[in-house]
């Protein structure tokens, strides 16, 4: 028998040493966020958790514990039958629940009784969440960020990908957020993560970076779709980031947007519903004109107009406000959004860095 209580910082630093990380919370809690690589072995599902909570409030703590204990015992037995039979004696799981209490304690105790070298996370997910929040305040100041600025459709995200392929360190906030950062930025079939999940993914990404090397990142707004980039990271990028302005001709930008947002041609009404959100900024007449153009299939024309009349002015105002030294930043000309152009631009940028 072996059961060890592990503090959150130690667990985070040793995650790779555990053979499995097991989240004993309900599926609903797990969906909101979880430790990197965690598996969900709920000792109470969402309905059972609500039932026990209701009994605790409306009947008595003792009755709730009796019912809860029977449910937990059955669920733990099922997990052991389904997922433990193939585990060797040396298997080392880390188990946690919301606050490191009875749910993870019950599962961890059974696993330790079998003979596995089991660890339980002190303070549970709540302690891990506090650690993530602390690190997201602390980590950004350890990095030197090279910020890619540029108007909508200038290929900043593709350039980040080319930089990564050539060995550069990249922080792709839009990829972590599953969103391109505008009213049209939602990715088909890819819902955005909840805020807590985004924070954990960002925490993982930052911990994987080397502070001794530059980190390339795209100039982003504080919000990327529905998730918010931590203040410390935004401040570090804006106040201390080294900017490069990515430039591309309007024709090439329109072509890139047609490639990136071509899926709207199959769902024009979704596009029209989304740009309804621009009425306050651009007025009914302008938005309705763009909707008519989209319904007529004039995608190149509508994207060109939206760039000139909405996205470019908005972006330039934002950049002037948030990046005080942008006027002195060097520029990087990119021919088009093709792979060869992006690789050439990445090489040029790395040579100049």
Catalytic residue numbers? 97
**Residue 138 CB burial class (10 angstroms; 0-12, 13-18, ≥19):** exposed
Q: Collapsing DSSP states into helix, strand and coil, what is residue 20? A: strand
Q: Collapsing DSSP states into helix, strand and coil, what is residue 337? A: coil
Phi, psi angles (nearest 5°) of residue 104 = -70, -30
Say if residues 258 and 284 touch (Cβ distance below 8 Å): no
From CA 182, how far away is CA 313, in angstroms rounded? 14
Strands 223-224 and 227-228: what pairing? antiparallel
| Element (DSSP H or E) covering residue 286 | helix 284-295
Strands 145-149 and 215-218: what pairing? parallel
Nearest to 150 by CA among 344, 307, 348: 307
From CA 35, how far away is CA 132, in angstroms rounded? 10
| Beta bridge partners of residue 6, listed in sequence order | 121
Rg (CA), the chain: 25
From CA 267, how far away is CA 263, in angstroms rounded? 7
Can you say how many angstroms the Cα of residue 256 is from the centroid of all Cα atoms in its chain?
24
Query: What DSSP assignment string belongs to 217-230?
Result: EE---SEETTEE--
């Amino acid at each position: 028998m072996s059961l060890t209580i592990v503090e959150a910082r130690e667990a985070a630093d040793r995650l790779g040493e555990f053979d499995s990380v097991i989240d004993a919370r309900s599926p609903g809690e797990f969906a909101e966020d979880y430790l990197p690589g965690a598996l969900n072995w709920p000792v109470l599902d969402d309905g059972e958790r609500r039932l026990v909570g209701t009994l605790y409030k409306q009947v008595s703590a003792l009755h709730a514990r009796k019912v809860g204990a029977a449910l937990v015992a059955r669920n733990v037995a099922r997990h052991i039958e389904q997922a433990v039979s193939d585990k060797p004696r040396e298997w080392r799981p880390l188990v946690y629940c919301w606050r490191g209490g009875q749910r993870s304690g019950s599962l961890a105790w059974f696993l330790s009784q079998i003979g596995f070298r089991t660890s339980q996370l002190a303070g549970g997910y709540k302690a891990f969440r506090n650690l993530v929040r602390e690190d997201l305040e602390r980590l950004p100041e350890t990095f030197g960020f090279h910020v890619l600025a540029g108007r909508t459709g200038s290929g900043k995200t593709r350039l980040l990908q080319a930089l990564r392929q050539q060995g550069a360190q990249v922080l792709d906030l839009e990829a972590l957020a599953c969103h391109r950062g505008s009213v049209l930025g939602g990715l088909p079939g890819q819902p955005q993560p909840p805020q807590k999940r985004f924070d954990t993914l960002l925490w993982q990404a930052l911990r994987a970076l080397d502070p001794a090397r530059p980190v390339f990142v795209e100039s982003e707004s504080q919000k990327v779709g529905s998730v918010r980039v931590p203040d410390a990271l935004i401040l570090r990028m804006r106040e201390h980031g080294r900017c490069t302005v990515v430039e591309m001709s309007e024709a090439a930008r329109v072509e890139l947007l047609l490639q990136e947002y071509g899926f709207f041609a199959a769902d024009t009404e979704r596009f029209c519903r989304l740009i309804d959100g621009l009425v306050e900024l651009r007025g009914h007449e302008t938005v309705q004109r763009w909707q008519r153009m989209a319904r007529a299939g004039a995608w190149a024309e509508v994207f060109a107009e939206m760039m000139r009349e909405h996205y470019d002015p908005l972006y330039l105002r934002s950049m002037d406000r948030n990046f005080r030294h942008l006027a002195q930043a060097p520029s990087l000309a990119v021919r088009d959004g093709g792979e060869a152009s992006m690789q050439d631009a990445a090489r040029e940028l790395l040579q100049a860095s």
